[in-house]
Amino acid sequence: MSKEPKAKSIIEPRVLKGFRDFLPSMEIPKKAITNNLEKHFRSYGFVPIDTPVLEYTEVLLGKGGGETDKQIFHFKDNGDRDVALRFDLTVPFARFLAQHHSELALPFKRFHIDKVWRGENPQKGRYREFTQCDFDIVGVDNAEADFEILSMMDSSFSVMGVKNYQFCIAHRGLFNAFLAHHGVLEQSVEILRTVDKLRKIGKDEVLALLHELTSDQEKAKAILQYISKEDEQEPFLTTLDRLTALSGGENPFSERMRTIYSYLCNAGIEAHFTFDPSITRGLDYYTGIVYETFLTELPHFGSVCSGGRYNDLASLYTKEKLPGVGSSIGLDRLLAALEELGSPLVASASSADVALFNTDVTQFSTYDRIARAMRKHGLRVSIYLLNKKQGAQYKWAETNAIPFAVILSEDDVQNNTLTLKNLRTREMQNALSTEAAIAVITKELF
């Protein structure tokens, strides 16, 4: 393309807008979190699945329409097929279910931790490539399944080490009952979108927009009354009673919420859950309970874990009735938030427990023998592979946040011992056996 050959012939290293590299300092905590989550999901009897990154565009767009169309990365493959990158893990899961439900025992509980892609304009905590941690239960539509997902959300945040979060939950069915009661159900999609903005633009703006939508001041006021809580601290059941009354009395949806809340109370985890009727979720496949999760210190970051019940999703691909409920943790957004909060979760990224110094390369096999013995005891041991002076080796260990160094003096080589240094306190212990050193390190670290 260039007119003249230039002296510089290297290609500029760069990544696409909204896409990112992960350095060890970020990838280590990310892996640690996903490992914890995976163990945690499995403790609930959830199993992992995987689906292709690329699908037929028609499969992914099946129901979405509108906004999803604009956000999805799609193109023609080399065989002229119309293909697209998955923009979430839920829609491919619905396709997966339709294809394999006969091979699965229902109720089926799965989790899926992987990357998804959306062609949105990036902002802080919002990327074009990001990781979702999904967990869903399909084949059952009851309060017990709804509760189990909520319960897992709560324990997931504690397993991840995240503090100060709030789950905001609402019920799409209850809201629709309310809209039907006021004869505005036809406009539910527009109303839902408007209602969702309450947190951002405030009551007055929302009221004006609702008035515009319904052309009826009374109806607009009624909707605003439904979605806003006079008292932020209003108890869950009080909110539920109020909304039930506004919807024309008890119905299956309010009963469902009542049961779910009783389970939350019995489990002793109700404090993290608040009834927020302004939560509606933009995606229109939700039919029951819906929820979003906010970090109390960074509410403007948006939800870091959202989901709900979808009873008809698989019906795009099969006549089989496959109700589901699930939730998705936005790992990259969460990590960005934790970084902004200066959380220790994203600060500790040590590459190893022990740095084995290389002070005399003729002793390399001795180093290797010690390293192998230590690794057998579960320690992470990294031998310094360059033959440099000790200052450089100390610096290398420090940069990699390695807490211990093993150094072999001439005496150590003679006597088959080693010197152990705690790099944080700078304490040294001489003439230790390998076993003794392992004991000291293990005691200090675990």
233 binds RNA (CB under 7 A): no
Residues 404-423 that bind RNA (CB under 7 A): 407, 409, 419, 421, 423
List 30, 106, 166, 196, residue binding RNA (CB under 7 A):
196
Whose CA is closest to 327, among 351, 347, 348, 310? Answer: 310
Q: How many residues sit close enough to RNA to count as binding (CB under 7 A)? A: 62
Q: Mapping DSSP to helix (H, G, I), strand (E, B) and coil, where does residue 12 land?
A: coil
The amino acid sitting at 194 is T
197 binds RNA (CB under 7 A): yes
204 binds RNA (CB under 7 A): no
| Radius of gyration, alpha carbons of the chain | 28
What's the closest the beta carbon of residue 215 comes to RNA, in angstroms?
A: 19
Six-digit token string for 395: 């610096």
281 binds RNA (CB under 7 A): yes
44-349-298 Cα angle (round to 5) = 70
Per-position DSSP letters for 114-162, written without gaps between them:
EEEE--PPPBTTB-SEEEEEEEEEES--SHHHHHHHHHHHHHHHHHHT-
List 136, 141, 276, 292, residue binding RNA (CB under 7 A):
292
398 binds RNA (CB under 7 A): yes
Region of 76-84, 159-167, 192-200, 250-258 interacting with RNA (CB under 7 A):
192-200
Region of 8-16, 153-161, 211-219, 347-355 interacting with RNA (CB under 7 A):
8-16
What's the closest the beta carbon of residue 386 comes to RNA, in angstroms?
A: 9
List 29, 62, 92, 125, residue binding RNA (CB under 7 A):
125
The answer to whether 93 touches 136, Cβ cutoff 8 Å, is yes
* Phi-psi region at 18: left, alpha or beta (left = phi > 0; alpha = psi -120 to 50): left
Provide the 10 A C-beta neighbour count for residue 438.
20
86 binds RNA (CB under 7 A): no
Alpha-carbon dihedral 14, 18, 22, 27, rounded to 10 degrees: -170
148 binds RNA (CB under 7 A): no
List 214, 239, 244, 328, residue binding RNA (CB under 7 A):
328
Q: In Å, how far from its chain's centre is CA 250? A: 35
The site for RNA (CB under 7 A) is made up of 6-8, 14, 16-19, 67, 70-71, 88, 118, 120-128, 130, 132, 193, 196-197, 200-201, 281-283, 292-293, 300, 302-306, 328, 330, 332-334, 388-392, 394-395, 397-398, 407, 409, 419, 421, 423, 426, 428, 430
